């Protein structure tokens, strides 16, 4: 399912994606909703501040850095991902995720969020903490394949 249009806040953007994902029969959500106007600038500034980035320094826009910032902002605003130990690197639109997460579902959500932020490809090298149970055979097989 593709979501497009304008919303007023990042919360509304995330909520719309969550609602769409909960619709019966939907297997994938491509959330391309844009946060409009001053709220987008405020949210970007808050996310950058939270992530320790200096928004006042003049720099040439780098699409890979902008994509990495969008991915980190999604993690920052996500209830399940904001406190996970993840690192994001982007090169030529390809995001590489490293670090650790608490659950297999968080690992999956991290990759989905990177795609939704605009990554054309995601190399998911996130490790799941040993105490996390594997939810089912299909997810375990997919996790094994992505590590290969």
Ordered DSSP codes for 4-16: EEEESSHHHHHHH
* Residue 136 half-sphere exposure toward CB, CA atoms < 13 A: 3
Structure-block tokens of residue 85: 């130990």
Instruction: Taking residues 140-147, report their average pLDDT.
Output: 57
What residue spans define the domains of the chain?
A: 1-58, 62-148
Q: Is the pLDDT of residue 46 over 60?
A: no
Sign, CA torsion 43/49/55/61:
negative
pTM of the model: 0.52
CA–CA dist 147, 28 (Å, integer): 21
Q: Is the pLDDT of residue 41 over 80?
A: no
Q: Is the pLDDT of residue 44 over 90?
A: no
Q: Is the pLDDT of residue 94 over 70?
A: yes
pLDDT at residue number 31? 82
């Amino acid at each position: 399912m593709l979501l497009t249009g304008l919303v007023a806040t990042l919360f509304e953007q995330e909520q719309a994606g969550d609602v769409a994902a909960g619709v019966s029969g939907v297997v994938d959500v491509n959330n391309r909703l844009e946060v409009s106007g001053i709220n987008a600038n405020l949210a970007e500034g808050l996310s950058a501040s939270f992530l320790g980035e200096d928004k006042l320094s003049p720099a040439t826009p780098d699409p890979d850095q902008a994509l990495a910032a969008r991915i980190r902002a999604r993690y920052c605003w996500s209830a399940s991902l904001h406190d996970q130990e993840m690192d994001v690197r982007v090169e030529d639109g390809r995001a590489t995720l490293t670090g650790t997460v608490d659950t297999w579902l968080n690992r999956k959500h991290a990759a989905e969020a990177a795609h939704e932020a605009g990554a054309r490809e995601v190399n998911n090298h996130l490790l799941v903490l040993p105490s996390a149970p594997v939810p089912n055979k299909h997810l375990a097989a997919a996790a094994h394949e992505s590590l290969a």
